[in-house]
Amino acid sequence: MGCINVDSLPVDQRIKDILKNRGIQRLNPPQSEAVEKGLLEDKPLLIVSPTASGKTLMAELGMVSHLLNKGGKAVYVTPLRALTNEKYATFKDWEQLGLKVAMTSGDYDTDDYWLKDYDIIVATYEKLDSLWRHNSSWLKEVDYFVLDEFHYMNDTERGPVVESVAVRAKRRGIVLALSATIGNYDKVAKWLKADVVATNWRPVPLKEGVLYTSNKKKDFIVLYKDGSSKKVYGECPIVAYTLDTVSRDGQVLVFRSSRKYAESTAVKISQYMSLVKLDNKKLHEVAQKVKEVEDAGSNEKESLYNLILKGVAYHHAGLSKGLRDIIEGAFRERIIKVIVATPTLAAGVNLPARAVVIGDIHRFNRKVIGFTEYIPVMEYKQMSGRAGRPGFDEYGESVVIVRSKSEVEKITQKYLNSDVEPLESKLGSESAFYSFILSIISSEQGVTEKTLSSYVQDTLLPKELAKKYYKQAISWLMSNDFIGQKDDYLVLTRFGRRISDLYLNPFTAVTIKDALLKSEKGCEIAYFHLLAYTPDGPLVSVSKAEEDVILDELDCELFIEEPYDEFELSNYLSSLKVAFIMRDWIEEVDEDTILGRYGIGSGDLRAITDTMDWLTYSGYHVASVLGLEEHEKILEKLHLRVKDGVKEELIPLIRVSGIGRVRARLLYSHSIKTPEEILMNPEKVKQLLGPKLGEKIVREAARAIT
């Protein structure tokens, strides 16, 4: 079909003006098809089109035209906080039309009543699910749902909540689901009661290939899907192909299967970057920013500083947000030429490159020790889809590295010439399904079994399996005091209501409840270990050497007994390592020392402390609703200490906004120990913290007291 001119769109002129200010004069083919299929008339749609094909703009047009014509509220849902921030910044344009845009994520124990004044709300799937459980009155006005990155429904961990949100969204309003990769889109669209816009159109054509070693040691051949080929030369295939692209003014994303491989590959590539032209002045400026980041470890900063000077960086979840932001920004500005990343980057923020190198088509399966498996086709499509920068490249290239020519045909057929896996329900586990049932009962504030059964039938689970799990779920939730019956309705008990509001996995709640009910108060390690051992706890890897050390250092009795099962033991040891990390953290052990001692990154430490902050908060509320006062007091204090990592005497100071572990300890060491003492010694505070910051802290102390 043809491309629609912006001027001919049947929308408010102000919408056209905003599009033109962005440089958009015509809609591209998939955008035009979406309009033809009713995007501007509130028709439910499933849009499946490649990365950078303009799906976000389709969502904007759908939301804004609906709000201007019909009123109500629109929610744009994403699977990642980073995407939430990105979309929020994009949607701020529409405030020119008088629409108010807000963003919310995290903090699951709140109804976010303040959102009643906003028209477009950007949230994560988990946050929207949590808000429904809290039954905030403004949610009744939401009648337009954009479900972004909808293929996340295939993810074992995130999929259940994506499906749960989709089930309720299609019952409550108009659904616009977006994805780059869904194989069975006809079936999924029928399930969503939506029409389909499915296209392979890309703004920058993609050239896919497989790279293998020729008969000559330092010659490597790329055989493309279209039958063409080319040679690159160098010490190893990844380095050879990367340097070939960078030497032609391109940027490269290299994907490796592990953090260790990502870091070592980045170092290897950097050793050859003197062969290409770089903007050394700008690279030095970026590297200097890395050194000044506050939320990262010294070793990480030093490592990245040296790499960035050579135009290279690595990127994975172990890095702090501050470091990741700098690396992503410098890559977008074309200063950094190469990022070596783990596959999580492919599913995250928009970061296109001229070329993508997929260094590993196998990965370890953690559930089967010593076993590797092929990555899913969907994961390949997500990574290769990053190739090609609109406005810079005539075409993008993606290459898969294989060991020998004998693998080329097999990998070509498996990845380059096949469709992605079908989207299937991930509610087929007790944990996921029971959480879904609890969520529905909570958000509907009492439902009959018939109504609840209709929600279950609305999932993508096979009907017989859904019936089986439904009966099990009702029985289990009743026997564990989450739900009860009142007349013909299923209702939450006091315990069930609190667990639902806290957004806890029901199995986490039962694990905590059972342990606390049968035990006297324990040591700090015991509480941290219990919380980390639950299904909601953070996971860390434990080497054999670490296993011996942490078991030797354990000097108190735990709530959980050491299991005999190999996989349960692995979880037990992971939880124990988390407990030791958290004890060091709240004892104010230096961050660099913690990172080095436990072999984790600053991003890992942030993720662990964030999760344990939520779990200690949840733990003390579980103890409270059970009337276990001793456990409640201990868990509340641990919660207050976890967020900033402080000893107990600093709790009063960290209640002041802007004061963390370092500033609190500085003030305390100079005999300023409470918010009141901050107010009584303003000049001393300014002297210790600097005039501007000191003045701000004094103001915040006044707020903390009132």
pLDDT tens by residue, 88-104: 999 999 999 999 999 99
> Is residue 1 domain-resident?
no
Please tell me whether residues 536 and 464 are part of one structural domain.
no
> Is residue 50 domain-resident?
yes
In CATH, what number is assigned to the domain containing residue 513? 1.10.3380.30
* Alpha-carbon gap, residue 241 to 357, rounded angstroms: 8
Q: Angle at Cα 446 formed by Cα 442 and Cα 449, nearest 5°?
A: 105
Please say which residue of 447, 472, 502 terminates a domain. Answer: 502
For the stretch 151-188, pLDDT in tens is 999 998 999 999 999 999 999 999 999 999 899 999 99
User: How many domains, the chain?
Assistant: 5
Assess whether pLDDT exceeds 60 at residue 117.
Answer: yes
* Average pLDDT value for residue range 228-234: 93
Res. 218 pLDDT band, cuts 50 70 90: confident
Assess whether pLDDT exceeds 70 at residue 365.
Answer: no
> Is residue 420 domain-resident?
no
In CATH, what number is assigned to the domain containing residue 442? 1.10.10.10
Mean pLDDT rounded to a whole number for the chain: 93
Nearest to 621 by CA among 529, 514, 483, 504: 504
Which residues does 380 contact at the CB level (< 8 Å), separation at least 6? 358, 361, 400, 415
> Is residue 56 domain-resident?
yes
Q: What stretch of H or E contains 163?
A: helix 159-172
For the stretch 642-663, pLDDT in tens is 999 999 999 999 999 999 999 9
In the chain, the percentage of residues whose pLDDT exceeds 90 is 84
Cβ–Cβ under 8 Å, residues 411 and 400: yes
Please tell me whether residues 553 and 483 are part of one structural domain.
no
Assess whether pLDDT exceeds 80 at residue 687.
Answer: yes
Bridge pairing between strands 120-124 and 229-233? unpaired
Sequence letter at residue 465: L
| Predicted pLDDT of residue 214 | 84
Assess whether pLDDT exceeds 70 at residue 704.
Answer: yes
In CATH, what number is assigned to the domain containing residue 271? 3.40.50.300
> Is residue 658 domain-resident?
yes
Query: Which ranges of 559-674 would DSSP assign to H, the alpha helix?
Result: 566-586, 591-598, 602-625, 629-642, 651-654, 661-669
* Alpha-carbon gap, residue 161 to 278, rounded angstroms: 45
| Predicted pLDDT of residue 368 | 47
CA distances to 27, 269, 565, 696 from 643, rounded to whole Å, are 47, 38, 33, 21
Res. 1 pLDDT band, cuts 50 70 90: low
Please tell me whether residues 638 and 695 are part of one structural domain.
no
Bridge partners of residue 358, in order along the sequence: 255, 400
Please tell me whether residues 496 and 510 are part of one structural domain.
no
Residue whose token pair is 């300023």? 672
For the stretch 411-437, pLDDT in tens is 999 999 988 999 999 999 999 999 999
Please tell me whether residues 598 and 693 are part of one structural domain.
no
In CATH, what number is assigned to the domain containing residue 665? 1.10.150.20
DSSP 127-156: HHHHHHHHT-GGGGGEEEEEE-SGGGGGST
Please tell me whether residues 11 and 81 are part of one structural domain.
yes
* Residue 365: other Cβ atoms inside 10 A: 11
Assess whether pLDDT exceeds 80 at residue 34.
Answer: yes
Assess whether pLDDT exceeds 50 at residue 369.
Answer: no
* Alpha-carbon gap, residue 303 to 291, rounded angstroms: 10
Res. 366 pLDDT band, cuts 50 70 90: low
Assess whether pLDDT exceeds 60 at residue 702.
Answer: yes
Please tell me whether residues 227 and 332 are part of one structural domain.
yes
* Average pLDDT value for residue range 578-602: 96
* Average pLDDT value for residue range 321-350: 90
Please say which residue of 605, 628, 644 terminates a domain. Answer: 644
Please tell me whether residues 313 and 336 are part of one structural domain.
yes
* Alpha-carbon gap, residue 499 to 74, rounded angstroms: 28
- Residue 496's domain comprises 433-502
> Is residue 462 domain-resident?
yes
* Average pLDDT value for residue range 530-548: 93
Please tell me whether residues 252 and 334 are part of one structural domain.
yes
> Is residue 540 domain-resident?
yes
Residue 436 CA, chain-centre distance (Å), reads 20
Is 413 annotated in some ligand binding site?
Answer: no
**b/e code 298-332 from CB counts within 10 Å (16+ = b):** eebbebbbebbbbbbbbbbbbbbebbbbbbbebbe
Please say which residue of 484, 502, 520 terminates a domain. Answer: 502
For the stretch 622-647, pLDDT in tens is 999 999 999 999 999 999 999 999 99
Work out the end-to-end distance of the chain between its first and last CA atoms, rounded to an integer number of angstroms.
63
Please tell me whether residues 57 and 144 are part of one structural domain.
yes
* Average pLDDT value for residue range 376-395: 91
In the chain, the percentage of residues whose pLDDT exceeds 70 is 98
> Is residue 261 domain-resident?
yes
* Alpha-carbon gap, residue 54 to 155, rounded angstroms: 24
Please tell me whether residues 282 and 349 are part of one structural domain.
yes
Please tell me whether residues 290 and 169 are part of one structural domain.
no
| Predicted pLDDT of residue 237 | 95
